[in-house]
Structure 1
C-alpha cells in the first residue's frame, strides 16, 4: 500500500512539472499577451542560443586541432623544371618567285609563228614565236651588199695608203663610209632580232596568251606567261617591333593549309627599310619546291623563330591571376607535411613571352618549385591544401 502512495506521489509531481513546462512554452507565452512574460522568455532563449554558440566554437576548435586537412580544398600540382623554350612569331604570307614574267613583243607586226604550247618546258634563249618583219630582211640584204662594197673600197684604199699612194683624205673617206654601212647593218639586225621572241630564262610556258596570226604591239599585247618553280620564296611584312629579333638565317616553319603540307626553312633576306605607312619591314623566306607542288600566290602561314631560351621556366597561362595593382601571381605549395598536405602561398611573378597557353616565368619561382594547377583560383594565401595525384 505504501508503494502505491509513493507511485501516486511521483506521478503527481511529474504531472505538475510537465504542466508547468507546458505553461511556460512559447505558445502559451505568446497567447498570454503579457509583455513581461514575453521579455522573460526572449531573455531565456537568447541565453540558451549563446550557450549553444559557445559550445560549437569549442567543438570546431578541437576539430581543427585534430584534423587540419579533412575539409581543405583538393588541388593538383606540378613541379616546374627548366627546359628549352622556342617562341615563334606567327604571320601570313604569299608565295612568289622572281622567275615569273609576262612576255610582251618588242616589235609591231603580225604574229606569224608560235613555236610553243602551254605546259611546255623551255630553255633560256629558246625561240618562242616569230613576228613578221615587214620587209626588213630585204632591206638588210641590200645594206649588206652596200657594206661589202664599202669594205672592198676601204681595204683597197688602205693598201694604197700603206704604200704612200693616194691622199689621206681618200683613205679616211673610205674608212668612214665602211663604218657607216657596217653600223647601219648592225642596227637593222638588232631591229630584225626584235621580231624573234625568246625565253629570258628557263621555265614552263604557263599560258599562251596571243594566238598566231594576231597583230601585236610593243608593250601592249601580252604573248606568253613564263614561270620557273625552282626559285620560290615568301615575302611578308613584319612589324618593326621585331626588328632586333628577326635576322637572316632564323628558322621558319611554313604551313600550306591547302596542300596539307609543312616545311622547315629559314629567312634568306631581311629588308633594311621601314615602311612609314604601316611601320613594317620586308622579310623573304626561301621555299624548297622539289616536287613543284607549290605555286605562285599560294597562301601560307609562317612561324618565325624570334626568341629561344635554353633554360626557361614554363607554366600554363590559365593558372595566372592578377591583383588590383596589376601584378601577376600564382600559388605555390609550402610547408609540406608528407606527400599530400601543405599550405598555399601566393607568389608574385614576372612573365615573358607566351606561346599558346604556355608562358615563360622570368622572376618569382625557381627550378623544381611546386605550383598549384587544378584549384589555383579557389585557394587563399596560407590556406591548408590537400594534394591529389592525377592518373
Structure 2
C-alpha cells in the first residue's frame, strides 16, 4: 500500500517526539525515586549523672557592719586608721580629748579617799563605844548614833566608788576601738572636729568582708526543697556568679558557699521566700551590696537518659521523639522528666538509641531518612549541667 509522503513525514515527527519524551522522562523518574529519603541529623541517647540546680538573683551582705559613732561629746584628737584599711576587733581607731573626764576621775578618787578615811575613824570609835556600852560607859543612844555614822560613811564611799566607775567608763569612750574585724569605710570627719553623741552620720563604718553572706529570694514552691537541704547532714552547696551573660549562662564564679538559713515567713506580696548562704571570702571577690547570680544544687539524677532539647517534639497530648530504625524512623512517646535550655531528661527510650535532632518537620512514622554524616554544629550532651 502506498503511503502519502506528507503522512510519512508526520508519522516520523511524532515518532521522534515520542522517543525524546521517553528519554527525558526516564532520568526524572530515577531522580525522583532517589530523593524520597529525607536528610536528617541524629544524636544518641546518653546516660549520665545529672545534677539539678535552681538559680536566682542575690545581694551580698556583710555578716557584721558597724557605723562608728562617738559615745561622748568631745574633740576628735586622733584618727589612727586609714580609709580602706583592714582592722581587727579591739584595734584602736580614734581618740577623743579626755582631759575633762580624767579630771573628774581624779576628783572622784579624792572624794573616795576622804570618805574611806572618815569611815575608818568612825569604825574605830564604833568599836570603842561597843566595848564601853557593856559597862554602861556610854549611852546606848551614843552607840546607835555612831553606828548610823558608820553606815552613812559606807554609803558615801560606795557613791564615790560608783562615781569613779562612771568616770572610768566615760574615759574608755575617749578611745574608740573596732567592735568587729573588717574593712574601714570612707570617713566623714577629720581630726579637730567636735563630735556629739547625737551625730547620726558617724565617723566611718567598719564592715566585715570575710566571711560574707548572700541573701536571695526563690519562689515559695521551693520551700520544701530548701527545708530538705537545710535538714541534710551536709549543707547544700551554693555558688555565686558575676551576673549572667547574654546567652543565659552564668558569669565568672565569685565564691562557693553553704546554705545557712531560710527566712521565717513567705512574702505575701511577691510569693517568694528569702534565704541566706554564707561564703568564705578570702579573695574578697564578693563585696557588700553587690548583685550576683546564685546556683544551688537541689538534686542529682543518677543514670539519667539525656538528649538535646531539639530532639523532643511536642504533640497534642504528649511529647515524642523520632527514633531511627534502619533507614526509617519510628515515633516514640516519651516523658520529659526535666528540661532546660541545655538538655532534657527523658523516659521512654533506651541509652544508645539514635534519635533525630534536626529535620523533623518533614518526618512521619515510617518515613525513609538519610543520616547526614556531618555532625551538627551544636549538639553536646556530655558534661552538660542542668540550669533552670
Scaled by the length of structure 1, what TM-score is found?
Answer: 0.74
Are the structure 2 counterparts of residues 265 and 196 from structure 1 closer, same or farther at C-alpha, using a change threshold of 3 Å?
Answer: closer
Corresponding residue for residue 89 of structure 1 = 54
1:348 aligns with 2:340: no
Following superposition, the deviation at residue 330 of structure 1 comes to: 1.6
Highest relative contact order (Cα 8 Å, sep 6+), 1 or 2?
Answer: 2
Following superposition, the deviation at residue 134 of structure 1 comes to: 7.5
Q: Which moved more, 1:84-93 or 1:244-253?
A: 244-253
Q: Is the 8 A contact 1:87 1:354 kept in 2?
A: no
1:209 aligns with 2:191: no
CA distance, structure 1, for counterparts of residue 269 and residue 99 of structure 2:
50
CA distance, structure 2, for counterparts of residue 277 and residue 380 of structure 1:
48
Following superposition, the deviation at residue 180 of structure 1 comes to: 1.8
Question: Rg bigger for which structure?
Answer: 1
Corresponding residue for residue 243 of structure 1 = 223
Matched residue count: 336
Q: Which moved more, 1:273-282 or 1:259-268?
A: 259-268
- Secondary structure of the residue aligned to 2:168 is helix
**Match among 163, 169, 193 for residue 172 of structure 2:** 193
CA distance, structure 1, for counterparts of residue 299 and residue 361 of structure 2:
30
CA distance, structure 2, for counterparts of residue 170 and residue 19 of structure 1:
159
CA distance, structure 1, for counterparts of residue 8 and residue 120 of structure 2:
161
Q: Is the 8 A contact 2:254 2:286 kept in 1?
A: no
1:312 aligns with 2:277: no
Corresponding residue for residue 85 of structure 2 = 120
**Match among 266, 278, 282 for residue 286 of structure 1:** 278
- Secondary structure of the residue aligned to 1:208 is coil
CA distance, structure 1, for counterparts of residue 191 and residue 181 of structure 2:
22
Q: Is the 8 A contact 2:255 2:286 kept in 1?
A: no
1:110 aligns with 2:75: yes
Corresponding residue for residue 256 of structure 1 = 242
Are the structure 2 counterparts of residues 372 and 159 from structure 1 closer, same or farther at C-alpha, using a change threshold of 3 Å?
Answer: farther
Unaligned runs of 5+ in 2: 15-24, 132-142, 245-250, 376-388
Corresponding residue for residue 51 of structure 1 = none
What are the superposed Cα offsets for residues 114-134 of structure 1, whole Å, 9 maximum, x if unpaired? 233224343322332222358
Corresponding residue for residue 19 of structure 2 = none
CA distance, structure 2, for counterparts of residue 69 and residue 85 of structure 1:
42
1:328 aligns with 2:312: no
Are the structure 2 counterparts of residues 285 and 69 from structure 1 closer, same or farther at C-alpha, using a change threshold of 3 Å?
Answer: farther
Q: Is the 8 A contact 2:311 2:355 kept in 1?
A: no
Are the structure 2 counterparts of residues 86 and 212 from structure 1 closer, same or farther at C-alpha, using a change threshold of 3 Å?
Answer: same
- Secondary structure of the residue aligned to 1:317 is coil
Are the structure 2 counterparts of residues 125 and 266 from structure 1 closer, same or farther at C-alpha, using a change threshold of 3 Å?
Answer: closer
- Secondary structure of the residue aligned to 1:382 is coil
Are the structure 2 counterparts of residues 377 and 154 from structure 1 closer, same or farther at C-alpha, using a change threshold of 3 Å?
Answer: farther
Are the structure 2 counterparts of residues 70 and 119 from structure 1 closer, same or farther at C-alpha, using a change threshold of 3 Å?
Answer: closer
Corresponding residue for residue 229 of structure 1 = 209
Following superposition, the deviation at residue 211 of structure 1 comes to: 0.6
Corresponding residue for residue 162 of structure 2 = 183
Following superposition, the deviation at residue 183 of structure 1 comes to: 1.6
Q: Is the 8 A contact 2:236 2:296 kept in 1?
A: yes
What are the superposed Cα offsets for residues 177-225 of structure 1, whole Å, 9 maximum, x if unpaired? 2212212222232233333322112333232221111122224241122
Corresponding residue for residue 378 of structure 2 = none
Following superposition, the deviation at residue 70 of structure 1 comes to: 6.2
Are the structure 2 counterparts of residues 355 and 262 from structure 1 closer, same or farther at C-alpha, using a change threshold of 3 Å?
Answer: farther
CA distance, structure 2, for counterparts of residue 78 and residue 20 of structure 1:
59
Unaligned runs of 5+ in 1: 1-8, 26-55
Following superposition, the deviation at residue 379 of structure 1 comes to: 0.6
Corresponding residue for residue 29 of structure 1 = none
Following superposition, the deviation at residue 160 of structure 1 comes to: 5.7
Q: Is the 8 A contact 2:36 2:368 kept in 1?
A: no
Corresponding residue for residue 357 of structure 1 = 342
Are the structure 2 counterparts of residues 140 and 377 from structure 1 closer, same or farther at C-alpha, using a change threshold of 3 Å?
Answer: same
Corresponding residue for residue 352 of structure 2 = 368
